[in-house]
Amino acid sequence: MKQEARMAGTGAPEGGPRHVAIIMDGNGRWAQKRGRPRLFGHHAGARRVRDIVASCPDLGVKYLTIFAFSTENWKRTQTEVAGLMSLFRRYIMKEMQEFVREDVRVRFIGDRFRLEPGLRKLMEETEKMTAHCARLNLTIALNYGGRDEVARAMRLLARDVAAGRLDPEAVDEQTLPRYLDTRVLPDPDLVIRTSGEARISNFLLWQSAYAEYEFIDTLWPDFTPEIFARLLAQYGARDRRFGAVGA
Ligand code: IPE
Ligand code: IPE
Ligand code: MG
């Protein structure tokens, strides 16, 4: 199989995905199975993020994008939403220095202006502090929704048209991505969703047009670097044709 070849100097499979995006789902069910509150599952889930981030460089993953909170997740109870926001604050505070040490550049996507100012400030600080880092590009989707992102991008684009900075006749497939939150990122090659749900729940709608998908039953708090490595190897065996005829 193709993925047996290894990139020189690393354990990374050749032809593996450069950008992996993960829908980290199943924290609530993981906690429920243990008779614990949902937030217990979210805390366990946050701990798994650290192992997966750490495993990326050796696996040849240059970009990792993780879905932490969707624009639809505000529909949850006030207790769960507040608990999650407090978890994000604590997580960022705790990991900030670690990201710098590990040479991880952190970015956030989503509508940050709906988040509380304290959290927003931590997000901005982390982005600034890690702006020079280059070993891994970690993007955290927080208050992110694909449709919301496209709508915000359209608003910016419309402003440029109204101000005479953009000719409507020049708008094509390359124009919109320049207004998206992900403007500096490549499209994801592989999107993984844990917990057995086979849907994308408004994640990276525009960007995933040609992504490969893996839906696995494992609940996010049980996800390990070994499972991650197996999915990356499976990706190496896929034939991405992008509409053309295979070799
Ligand atoms: C994913 O786990 C994390 C967030 C959406 C914040 P869930 O909380 O959706 O867990 P399940 O799907 O209820 O098990
Ligand atoms: C998607 O999971 C959002 C995140 C993982 C942050 P959800 O659990 O919110 O998605 P649905 O409601 O099952 O579609
Ligand atoms: Mg869920």
Taking the CB of residue 100, how many other CB atoms lie within 10 A of it? 16
- Domain range list for the chain: 19-145+187-236
At 8 the pLDDT is 45
At 210 the pLDDT is 97
**Is the predicted pLDDT of residue 11 greater than 70, yes or no?**
no
Is 202 touching ligand 1 by the criterion CB < 6 Å?
no
- Give the Cα separation of 214 and 194 in Å (integer): 8
DSSP 8-state code for residue 99:
H
Burial class for 27, CB neighbours closer than 10 Å (0-12, 13-18, 19+): buried
Which residue's C-alpha comes closest to atom 13 of ligand 1?
Answer: 28
Atom of ligand 1 nearest to the CA of 70: 5
Q: What is the value of pTM for the model shown?
A: 0.95
* Structure tokens belonging to residue 41: 């599952």
Mutate to test the pocket of ligand 1, among 24, 27, 39, 79 (most ligand atoms within 8 A of CB): 27
The catalytic residue positions are 25, 73
Per-residue pLDDT tens digits for 149-181: 999 999 999 999 999 999 999 999 999 999 999
At 13 the pLDDT is 58
Residue 174 alpha carbon to ligand 2 centre in Å: 29
DSSP 8-state code for residue 90:
H
CATH top class, domain 19-145+187-236: alpha beta
Of the candidates 7, 68, 20, the one whose C-alpha atom is nearest the C-alpha of residue 235 is: 20
Half-sphere exposure (CA, 13 Å, Cβ side) for 122? 19
Contact 203, 187 (CB under 8 A): no
Residue labelled with tokens 């993984």: 192
Mutate to test the pocket of ligand 2, among 24, 25, 32, 195 (most ligand atoms within 8 A of CB): 25
DSSP 8-state code for residue 12:
P
